């Protein structure tokens, strides 16, 4: 089971696999403080075996057409993860999530990767809707959706538990008929 999607001359996305476990764990570990501010799974990722389990679950879910998690390859190095957290095939909708190692921020990697995933959703998967949710205060993550032209549709109060508090989510949506390509 293989999936590779070329984004541009610097970036491609590939389905996560067990060969990526050590590198993904290293990125997670070195960006732990940075990522923990917005992602709820850091306390459950304490060693490479946790990452291996994540990869196994991701591939199982992909095989069942429920989700698709890809490693972001930038200049031949894994630098983060982007993909569809879930597919809703009945409603032809997908929800995109992403994270990036802090050492690679500010290079447009996430915007280009998420743009390519959005385009893939509409052109290849024939989705009608793509959604991005981010914590209301996560300005950088929200900026990704805004740069790509996603519409802010509203907020969900206390949408996610982050270790010791709830955060509200900003919900962004893009419809196939609105997408101008990437």
pLDDT per residue over 32-62, tens digit each?
Answer: 888 888 888 878 888 999 999 999 999 999 9
pLDDT per residue over 12-23, tens digit each?
Answer: 999 999 999 999
The domain limits of the chain are 4-175
pLDDT per residue over 122-154, tens digit each?
Answer: 999 999 999 999 999 999 999 999 999 999 999
Closest CA to 118 of 139, 149, 89: 149
Nearest-angstrom CA–CA distance, 15 and 81: 10
Nearest-angstrom CA–CA distance, 68 and 83: 5
**Over the range 15-42, which residues count as b (16 or more CB within 10 Å of their CB) and which as e?**
bbeeebbebbbebbeebeebbeebbeeb
Name the CATH superfamily, with its identifier, for domain 4-175: Gcn5-related N-acetyltransferase (GNAT) (3.40.630.30)
Q: With beta carbons less than 8 A apart as the criterion, state whether 3 and 61 touch.
A: no
pLDDT per residue over 89-127, tens digit each?
Answer: 999 999 999 999 999 999 999 999 999 999 999 999 999
């Amino acid at each position: 089971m293989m999936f590779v999607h070329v984004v541009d001359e610097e970036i491609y996305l590939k389905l996560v696999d067990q060969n990526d476990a050590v590198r993904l764990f290293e990125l997670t570990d070195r960006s732990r403080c940075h990522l923990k501010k917005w992602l709820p799974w850091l306390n459950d990722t304490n060693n490479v075996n946790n990452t291996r389990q994540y990869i196994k679950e991701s591939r199982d879910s992909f095989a069942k057409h429920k989700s698709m998690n890809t490693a972001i390859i930038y200049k031949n190095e894994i630098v983060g993860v982007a993909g569809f957290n879930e597919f809703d095939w009945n409603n032809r909708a997908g929800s995109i999530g992403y994270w990036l190692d802090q050492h690679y921020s500010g290079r447009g990697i996430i915007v280009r990767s998420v743009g390519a995933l959005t385009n893939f959703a509409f052109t290849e998967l024939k989705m009608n809707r793509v959604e991005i949710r981010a914590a209301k205060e996560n300005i950088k993550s929200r900026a990704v959706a805004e740069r790509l032209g996603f519409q802010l549709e509203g907020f969900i109060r206390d949408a996610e538990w982050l270790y010791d508090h709830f955060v509200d989510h900003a919900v962004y949506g893009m419809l196939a008929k609105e997408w101008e390509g990437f």
